[in-house]
């Protein structure tokens, strides 16, 4: 048992990786789905065990491979921050797998279903690898694994525009990865190391002549990662990708991929650069603050005018991502706690929303607003989940979204940015408009012909939705688990700045 616990960090990556290989040899989609289901739940179990170990110990878990000592060898390092992110990624993956069987069978041709699950498992491997590794170049390797599989997941959508969306993301994603690896190369030239913790210790002792390449590396890393997390105005790939990908792919990417990129940005800013120089002394904070505020308003306004509900929620994701980056930019305990906890809260809420839309597509064959008239009466449980998660997105008290925005508003006030607290409230009011449009069409119009005979989806699709809808309410009332863990992570990160 002790040997098993010792190898948990590497098992977190190896389980979905080997499951992907196994899935690739499956002839039938149902068999591949069973492999993905078992692997997803096994990954969740490993993440839970890692989180228990990390939060019970004052020191991070360090796992070194190949017999090479740190910093020469590759190290997997799990602390309070990435244990939190590992839980998010694996929870979303585990919850959506029961839902996936019927949804994937409906939306993807039978001869491509096994490949869909293979790509899903590779994407899960990449995201977990980015989160757990303590090596800067290893991050790049896993980033490419997750990105390449994501391009295929998007392209598997039956709409031909899915191919264009995938190609668009490929171009943007390649540019982002290139910027990231250039930044890593500059850091390697200055420090002679690829281990993130070792880079942080060596940056503090770097001489004045290396300050320019150090700042240049930060610029490349920031732009590269922000392309991946779709921070405004680097978000152009996201609306089409979410709108045209198969429903399960959209749910998984919306709930996890951008959150892992936000985690990576936090890791670079606070654990690497923050340990060597005060984060607030860098110009990044102000730039990130301005971009976050712009996204909160402009992306929310873009969502208001969308008639395709998947694109509507995609623009909403751009706005919601900015709450996370806003917490990073505030650089105080309350703000950073709000940014970190919103990773979890938004992952749960947005996954619930896209699951509901996937169920609507399963029954109706469309998610355009005009085709959903009266659907609230025909699919009451599905739309109830949509309403609850939508209220969370707005930030109504008693929902998960309120907790995130409360911490962010407190962080802004503590920083002396009183107008920023009003902007947070104003952007939430814009969310009332686009969520309200869907509610008005679904509940206050007569059922259209295409929804007249529809009903809620099968139980295997309904239960995951209800679980995430209930989680939206639970995380808004009982905050010890989510906000408590996020606050612990924020304190750990800020401790490196003092």
The SS3 call for residue 438 is helix
The predicted-structure confidence for 298-314, as pLDDT tens digits, reads as follows: 888 888 888 888 889 99
Shared domain check, 136 and 53: yes
Q: Considering only CA atoms, which of 224, 26, 25 is closest in space to residue 144?
A: 224
Q: Which residues pair with 77 in a beta bridge?
A: 62
**307 class by beta-carbon count within 10 Å (0-12 exposed, 13-18 middle, 19+ buried):** exposed
Q: Considering only CA atoms, which of 242, 241, 259, 247 is closest in space to residue 90?
A: 259
Shared domain check, 99 and 8: yes
Structural domain total, the chain: 2
The predicted-structure confidence for 54-87, as pLDDT tens digits, reads as follows: 888 778 888 888 777 777 778 888 888 888 899 9
pLDDT band at 354 (very low <50, low <70, confident <90, very high): very high
Q: According to the model, what pLDDT value does residue 26 have?
A: 81
Shared domain check, 304 and 224: no
Residue 497 has pLDDT above 60, yes or no: no
The predicted-structure confidence for 136-169, as pLDDT tens digits, reads as follows: 889 999 999 999 999 999 988 777 888 888 888 8
Residue with tokens 């529809």: 454
Q: How confident is the model over 364-389, as a mean pLDDT? A: 86
Mean confidence (pLDDT) of the chain: 86
Which structural domain, as residue segments, surrounds residue 201?
1-277
Q: Considering only CA atoms, which of 417, 415, 390 is closest in space to residue 472?
A: 390
Shared domain check, 436 and 290: yes
Examine the fold and report which residue of 232, 248, 277 is the final residue of a domain before the chain moves on.
277
Shared domain check, 187 and 114: yes
Please list, in sequence order, all residues whose beta carbon lies within 8 angstroms of the beta carbon of residue 183, skipping any fewer than 6 positions away.
216, 217, 218, 219, 220, 221, 224
Shared domain check, 304 and 238: no
Cα separation of 492 and 270, whole Å? Answer: 10
53 CA to centre of own chain? 23
**Where would I find the H helices in 192-308?**
196-203, 211-229, 238-244, 247-252, 258-266, 284-304
Q: How many C-beta atoms lie closer than 10 Å to residue 491's C-beta? A: 13
Q: According to the model, what pLDDT value does residue 17 have?
A: 92
346 CA to centre of own chain? 8
Q: How confident is the model over 90-116, as a mean pLDDT? A: 88
Cα separation of 240 and 234, whole Å? Answer: 13
Please list, in sequence order, all residues whose beta carbon lies within 8 angstroms of the beta carbon of residue 423, skipping any fewer than 6 positions away.
293, 296, 297
Shared domain check, 296 and 272: no
Cα separation of 55 and 388, whole Å? Answer: 31
Examine the fold and report which residue of 277, 304, 322 is the final residue of a domain before the chain moves on.
277
Cα separation of 42 and 125, whole Å? Answer: 13
The H-or-E segment that residue 61 falls in is strand 61-64
Shared domain check, 289 and 254: no
Shared domain check, 363 and 408: yes
**Token digits of residue 449:** 């012909």
The fraction of the chain above a pLDDT of 70, given in percent, is 96
Cis status of the peptide bond prior to 71, with omega within 30 of 0:
yes
Shared domain check, 299 and 153: no
Shared domain check, 122 and 95: yes
Global pTM reads: 0.91
Shared domain check, 300 and 213: no
Examine the fold and report which residue of 277, 309, 335 is the final residue of a domain before the chain moves on.
277
Judge whether 177 and 147 are in contact, CB under 8 Å: yes
Cis status of the peptide bond prior to 283, with omega within 30 of 0:
no
Q: How far is CA 55 from CA 79, 481, 489, in A?
A: 8, 11, 10
**Token digits of residue 129:** 């690898």
Q: Considering only CA atoms, which of 177, 153, 174 is closest in space to residue 165?
A: 153
């Amino acid at each position: 048992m002790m040997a098993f616990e010792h190898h948990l960090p590497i098992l977190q990556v190896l389980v979905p990786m080997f499951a992907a290989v196994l899935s690739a040899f499956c002839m039938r989609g149902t068999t591949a789905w069973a492999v993905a289901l078992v692997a997803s739940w096994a990954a969740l179990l490993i993440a839970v065990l890692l989180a228990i170990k990390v939060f019970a110990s004052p020191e991070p878990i360090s796992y070194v491979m190949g017999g090479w000592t740190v910093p020469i060898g590759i190290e997997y390092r799990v602390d309070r921050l990435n244990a939190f992110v590992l839980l998010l990624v694996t929870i979303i993956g585990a919850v959506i797998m029961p839902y996936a069987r019927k949804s994937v069978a409906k939306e993807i041709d039978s001869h491509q279903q096994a490949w869909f699950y293979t790509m899903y498992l590779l994407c899960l491997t990449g995201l977990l690898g980015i989160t757990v590794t303590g090596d800067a170049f290893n991050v790049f390797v896993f980033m490419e694994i997750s990105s390449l599989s994501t391009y295929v997941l998007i392209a598997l959508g039956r709409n031909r525009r899915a191919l264009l969306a995938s190609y668009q993301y490929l171009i943007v994603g390649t540019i982002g990865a290139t910027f990231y690896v250039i930044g890593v190369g500059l850091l390697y030239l200055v420090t002679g190391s690829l281990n993130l913790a070792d880079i942080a210790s060596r940056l503090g002792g770097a001489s004045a002549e290396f300050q320019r390449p150090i700042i240049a590396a930060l610029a490349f890393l920031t732009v590269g990662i922000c392309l991946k997390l779709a921070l405004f105005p680097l978000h152009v790939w996201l609306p089409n990708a979410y709108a045209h990908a198969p429903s399960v792919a959209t749910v998984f990417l919306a709930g996890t991929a951008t959150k892992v990129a936000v985690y990576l940005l936090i890791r670079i800013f606070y654990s690497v650069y923050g340990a060597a120089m005060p984060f607030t002394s860098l110009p990044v904070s102000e730039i990130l603050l301005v971009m976050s505020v712009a996204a909160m308003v402009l992306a929310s306004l873009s969502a208001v005018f969308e008639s395709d509900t998947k694109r509507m929620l995609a623009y909403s994701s751009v706005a919601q991502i900015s709450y996370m980056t806003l917490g990073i930019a505030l650089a105080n305990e309350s703000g950073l706690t709000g940014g970190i906890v919103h990773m979890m809260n938004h992952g749960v809420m947005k996954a619930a929303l896209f699951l509901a839309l996937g169920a609507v597509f399963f029954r109706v064959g469309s998610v355009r607003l005009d085709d959903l008239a009266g659907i609230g009466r025909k699919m009451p449980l599905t739309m109830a989940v949509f309403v609850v998660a939508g209220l969370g997105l707005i930030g109504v008290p008693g929902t998960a979204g309120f907790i995130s925005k409360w911490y962010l508003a407190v962080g802004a006030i503590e920083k002396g940015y009183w107008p920023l607290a009003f902007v947070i409230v104003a952007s939430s009011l814009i969310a009332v408009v686009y969520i309200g449009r869907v509610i008005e069409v679904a509940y206050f119009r007569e059922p259209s012909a295409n929804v007249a005979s529809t009903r809620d989806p099968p139980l295997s699709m309904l239960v995951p939705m209800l679980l995430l809808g209930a989680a939206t309410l639970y995380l808004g009332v009982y905050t010890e688990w989510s906000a408590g863990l996020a606050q612990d992570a924020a304190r750990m990160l800020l401790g490196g700045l003092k």
